[in-house]
Amino acid sequence: MSRFAAPIAEQIWDMKYRLKDAEGRPLDATLEETWQRIAKALAAVEAEPAVWEPRFQAALQDFRFLPAGRVTAGAGTERSVTLFNCFVMGTVPDNMGGIFENLKEAALTMQQGGGIGYDFSTIRPKGAVVKGVAADASGPLSFMDVWDSMCRTIMSAGSRRGAMMATLRCDHPDIEAFIDAKKDANRLRMFNLSVLVTDAFMAAVKDNGPWDLRFGGQVYRTLAARDLWNKIMRSTYEVAEPGVIFIDRINRMNNLWYAETISATNPCGEQPLPPYGACLLGSINLARLVNDPFGPKAALDRQALDDLTRTAVRMMDNVVDASRFPLPQQEAEAKAKRRIGLGVTGLADALLMTGLRYGSDEAAKQTEVWLHAMARAAYLASVDLAREKGAFPLFEAEPFLASGNMAGMDEDVREAIRQHGIRNALLTSIAPTGTISLYAGNVSSGIEPVFAYAYTRKVLQKDGSRTEEEVVDYAVQMWRDLKGDAPLPAHFVNAQTLPPLDHVKMQAAAQKWVDSSISKTINCPEDISFDDFKDVYMAAWDMGCKGCTTYRPNAVTGSVLSVEAPKEQDLSQPLDRPQALEGQTYKVKWPGSEHALYITLNDIITDGRRQPFEVFINSKNMEHFAWTVGLTRMISAVFRRGGDVSFVVEELKAVFDPRGGAWMEGRYIPSILAAIGGVIEQHLIHIGFIPGEGLGLKSDPKALAPKPGQACENCGSHDLRMVEGCMTCGSCGFSKCG
């Protein structure tokens, strides 16, 4: 009988986690061999590997402990990959040489599959004087554009999907431009953005006081704190970014407050990290630990939770020694502090199985109880490891115990740490688990509510075709297996029907026993009022959360999930060409090129609407001849099929030249092809085919009309949804966060 609870689980294992040779032939014959590979690799660093390998394998059985995808795919493969998920890069110096040295380090980290975070608050604001060169500074956002281009280039070279987080302090003079950056749908697409919000700023917001924007000891201007807060709120209400990180709270609660200062997080926000900080992730699958699910004695097996947590901590501590690192600074940081991020998945399913409604006071209390038990087990396991193998090198008992987090820890745990030390500086984190949750049978993600009881997912087959399969939530499937066609109980709720403040309540309950942070999306209805939306963020602050990420469907970000795709019309036959067409010719002078490009776009009128019909690209540069002719023919062929062809703009503007792009009219253009895409976009705006810059949609060329919302970069569908702080495609599973 298959170990997999759902067909999608086996497909994900085969496509993402199963070890294969260079030709794609499987080396892991079965799922058990995958588990054995991981267990053997993590036990290899032990003094007695033969003792620990079977224990580690037992923890992996039945998807009870789920190491993050990086560990599952990479452990024991002998490949030059990192097993760490999260990196925050070094502090960006305010000089050109240092900035581009950091860019190189980011590229090296992303090549090995690491998601990275950066604080750009150290770069002087736009317009500030640059001494010695008689110039004004271009500001942090201009350099973020360069990082964004680098990430696209790494992706286009076939590396793992890029993911980056950019933060900026709430008192930086460029904060308003940072807040508005994502309103341009084509800008900073490889970044998640978050504002570093301080305690002083929140006090000023509540008091309706003034707020200084400053850099280098100089006050650039003063504005009303509440106005700036409303600007943040308005942007995230409209385009779902930026997020909010309560940075002073993070540093105050940090166990390592005495040894580091945090100013950035990894891409999904669950790991606030210092410069060159690194962390690995793993999750306890609570849905697999419920005894008598839906029965009169339904309860989480607390002993199983304790045992599994202790084993997981040891396995993750071993990853620190087994992993490679992109940069030596990251390895030194990881081994000096031995940070791990053990979390949970399947929380909502476990609550359903035990008869609790997600978001209720009872569910919040139960969540706190379960995570308290897990935190105790994790910290005591790390104390035992310290007795056996030594505490982390930067451990100092009294400062460690004086942190905001440890002040609330049980006294017996504090005393054990005081006497014996602790192996890992931080131990718990709630990470995004979208893919591994599907792999584990579609258990609910992280501490999120069930997203949907069932939905249809497009699955890529080995022959390149796509099939549609029903994906059923793990708890819902268990109910069906036990109860047949009986209606779901009243306590079943999902993300679409849950009030936003119930989300906040659950996040706050979990945060009490999570020493790092939480990747959590608070779903808000599209018709929520702006004032009610702001209340969500203020509630997150008042309840003790370390950050807040919301998702409200709208015309820019799209809806959460398409249930049924529209029927397609047969557009196999191209439109007939009239004898005469109207059009325009545009000149593009690429910097450094001797000859200009001349781009002619001709239009046709169909159903009263003007749309592009053909394109001609000409240049006197003979080195351009072959590719311009090829591009002319391909784009014209697409245009002549009719329908929504705006995806051509998206495809061209996404092309990045690894040799570097160029600045044109004050804007960085990543390649000459991207420049051509920009010309086509401007023409489409001119003829009224698309409403404005950045509003062209990448979609199936057979589609008859633009669909609402953002399209998936991988498959073009409009099934995007925000899950645990990262936009994820419900059709193909693509997420820039991995």
**Catalytic annotation, residues:** 266, 268, 270
> What residue has token string 């790991």?
271
For residue 571, pLDDT over 60 is answered with no
Q: Is 171 part of a structural domain of the chain? A: yes
586 or 575: which leads in pLDDT: 586
Residue finishing a domain among 227, 248, 269: 248
542 inside domain: no
189 part of a folded domain:
yes
Tokens describing residue 231: 């600007």
pLDDT attached to residue 699: 37
How far apart CA 599 and CA 60 sit, in angstroms, is: 58
Extended beta strands in 607-650, E state: 609-619
Pick from 259, 230, 260, 232: nearest CA to 245: 232
pLDDT in the model for residue 461: 64
Domain end point (choices 649, 664, 686): 686
Residue 245's φ and ψ, nearest 5 degrees, are -120, 125
**Number of domains the chain contains:** 2
Range of the domain at 633: 582-686
Model confidence pLDDT, tens digit, residues 353-412: 999 999 999 999 999 999 999 999 999 999 999 999 999 999 999 999 999 999 999 999
Strands 191-197 and 243-246: parallel
Residue 379 lies in a domain: no
With 90 as the cut, is the pLDDT of residue 469 above it? Answer: no
Answer whether residue 366 is part of any domain: no
Beta strands in 68-136 (DSSP E): 86-88, 115-119, 129-130, 135-136
Looking at 225, 248, 271, the residue that finishes a domain is 248
Q: Is residue 235 part of a domain?
A: yes
CA angle 49, 318, 392 (to 5 degrees): 125
What is the tens place of the pLDDT at every residue in 625-648? Answer: 788 888 888 888 888 877 778 888
Q: Report if residue 134 sits inside a domain.
A: yes
326-356 pLDDT tens trace: 999 999 999 999 999 999 999 999 999 999 9
Q: Let me know if residue 76 belongs to a domain.
A: no
- pLDDT, tens digit (0-9, with 9 covering 90-100), for 226-277: 999 999 999 999 988 999 999 999 999 999 999 999 999 999 999 999 999 9
The pTM is what? 0.78
**Mean residue pLDDT across the chain:** 87
C-alpha span between 691 and 680 (Å, rounded): 13
CB 572 within 8 Å of CB 538:
no
Average pLDDT over residues 466-490: 89
Q: SS3 string of 686-722?
A: HCCCCCCCCCCCCCCCCCCCCCCCCCCCCCCCCCEEE
Q: What is the pLDDT of residue 465?
A: 67
Write out pLDDT tens, residues 291-317. 999 999 999 999 999 999 999 999 999
What one-letter code names the amino acid at 161?
R
Q: If you average pLDDT over each of 66-80, 558-572, 580-594, which comes out highest? A: 66-80
* SS3 call for 343: strand
